[in-house]
């Protein structure tokens, strides 16, 4: 082969690489949104679910898909695609996620248990964005339907906030006569180190539960509570920027025990993604008065472009000022 032929073939390889790069660029980020909206509108449930998942990963740039996602997430009966659509919304648009929450909240009191179950699952899928629904979910832990109680325990674990409400509900669920409900509750304590003195006492009792799975999970939960992941570990994760929404959610669940990470959390109040700013404000709210150093940053968030972040910042400031000590 001549050198010219070799360079000609290498140029061909360069062209293939450029073409692959172009295909990737066109199918990721905001460029992919119109195609994904078409998939959402298709009759194929798998295509809808994968499109919703993809849109959730794209984040704020997927805002044109919000009306379709909200329509899917509020439609009854629910489906896997609808659940995925709800799960995608918090990273795209917090207000839209709250819209879905508001649509499902009245159905928690529906006479049909299946509707109540669906409503609970959808609220749980919204995660910490459905924080205002936590109190209503706690009430459902006294529901006559076992599946409703079980799903309520799981949804409370997924929402995780406010920690005092969630903790109260989960402790109630740990004492449920039905083992499936106890299992759903104990799972929320098993791997996260989420605990309190009262929950630890109940979990110790559950290590002798008649159901082996519950007893095993309770032992795992006690071990997690006795050797919890330190806030400094989450602080390191925040600095590395890996899965910040998960890290902030865990820090929020630690409450005042996360006080040493206040500066790291406050830095995220200016993050690009509203969900991260919201979770940062929620974490500071749970830390309470020990988060006083974050007050100036939180005050700036009172003018945040996202109304849900503004609301969370106001709640956090109130908590720092000591709403507990006033009452």
Partner 1 sequence: MTVREPHSRLAVLTVTIYWGCLLLGISIPWLATIGVDIVKHDQSLEQALHQLRLHLFAPGYNLFLIAVANALPFVLFAVLTLFHLGLAPAHDQRLAGRRATGICLAALGMIGLSIWVHVMTLWYPDAQGALAYLFLPFWQVLVLSLGYIGGRLAGGWFFR
- List the alpha helices (DSSP H) in the chain: 3-26, 33-40, 45-58, 66-74, 80-92, 94-104, 113-125, 134-139, 146-159, 163-174, 179-190, 197-206, 212-226, 231-240, 244-254, 262-267, 274-287, 295-300, 307-321, 323-326
- The residue behind tokens 């790069």 is 21
CB of 13 to partner 1, least distance (A): 7
CB of 18 to partner 1, least distance (A): 13
Binding site for partner 1 (CB under 8 A): 1, 3, 5-6, 9-10, 12-13, 16, 20, 23-24, 27-28, 32, 39, 46-47, 50, 53-54, 56-57
CB of 87 to partner 1, least distance (A): 12
12 versus 67: smaller Cβ distance to partner 1: 12
CB of 24 to partner 1, least distance (A): 6
CB of 278 to partner 1, least distance (A): 22
Of 34, 43, 36, 40, nearest to 73 (Cα)?
40
24 versus 80: smaller Cβ distance to partner 1: 24
91 versus 224: smaller Cβ distance to partner 1: 91
Is the CB of residue 248 less than 8 Å from the CB of residue 268?
yes
DSSP character at residue 238 = H
Phi and psi, residue 189, nearest 5°: -105, -10
3 versus 227: smaller Cβ distance to partner 1: 3
What does the DSSP assignment read for 8-74?
Answer: HHHHHHHHHHHHHHHHHHHTSGGGGHHHHHHHHTSS-HHHHHHHHHHHHHHGGGGGGGHHHHHHHHH
CB of 150 to partner 1, least distance (A): 24
CB of 78 to partner 1, least distance (A): 21
2 versus 303: smaller Cβ distance to partner 1: 2
Q: Is 243 left (phi over 0), alpha (psi -120 to 50) or beta?
A: left
2 versus 210: smaller Cβ distance to partner 1: 2
Residue 30 CA to residue 33 CA, distance in Å, equals 5
Q: Which residues contact 89 (CB under 8 A, 6 or more apart)?
A: 56, 66, 69, 70, 73, 96, 97, 100, 126, 129
CB of 136 to partner 1, least distance (A): 31
1 versus 111: smaller Cβ distance to partner 1: 1
69 versus 251: smaller Cβ distance to partner 1: 69
């Amino acid at each position: 082969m001549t050198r010219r032929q070799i360079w000609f073939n290498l140029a061909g390889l360069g062209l293939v690489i450029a073409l692959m790069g172009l295909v990737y660029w066109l199918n990721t980020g905001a460029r992919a949104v119109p195609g994904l909206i078409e998939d959402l509108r298709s009759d194929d449930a798998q295509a809808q679910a994968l499109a919703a998942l993809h849109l959730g990963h794209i984040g704020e740039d997927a805002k044109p898909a919000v009306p379709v996602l909200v329509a899917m997430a509020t439609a009854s009966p629910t489906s896997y695609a609808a659940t995925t659509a709800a799960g995608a919304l918090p990273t795209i648009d917090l207000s839209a996620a709250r819209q879905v929450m508001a649509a499902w909240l009245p159905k928690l009191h529906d006479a049909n248990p299946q509707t109540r179950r669906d409503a609970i699952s959808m609220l749980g899928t919204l995660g910490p964005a459905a924080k205002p629904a936590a109190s209503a979910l706690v009430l459902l832990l006294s529901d006559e339907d076992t599946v409703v109680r079980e799903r309520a325990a799981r949804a409370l674990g997924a929402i995780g906030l406010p920690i005092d409400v969630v903790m109260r509900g989960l402790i109630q669920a740990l004492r449920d006569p039905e083992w499936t409900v106890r299992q759903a509750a104990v799972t929320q304590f098993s791997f996260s180190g989420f605990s309190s003195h009262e929950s630890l006492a109940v979990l110790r009792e559950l290590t002798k539960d008649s159901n082996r799975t519950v007893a095993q999970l309770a032992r795992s939960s006690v071990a997690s509570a006795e050797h919890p992941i330190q806030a400094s570990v989450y602080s390191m994760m925040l600095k590395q920027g890996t899965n910040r929404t998960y890290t902030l959610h865990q820090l929020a669940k630690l409450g005042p025990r996360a006080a040493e990470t206040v500066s790291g959390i406050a830095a995220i109040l200016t993050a690009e993604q509203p969900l991260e700013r919201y979770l940062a404000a929620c974490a500071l709210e749970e830390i309470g008065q020990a988060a006083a150093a974050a007050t100036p940053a939180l005050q700036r968030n009172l003018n945040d472009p996202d109304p849900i972040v503004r609301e969370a910042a106001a709640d956090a400031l109130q908590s720092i000022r000591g709403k507990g000590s006033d009452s």
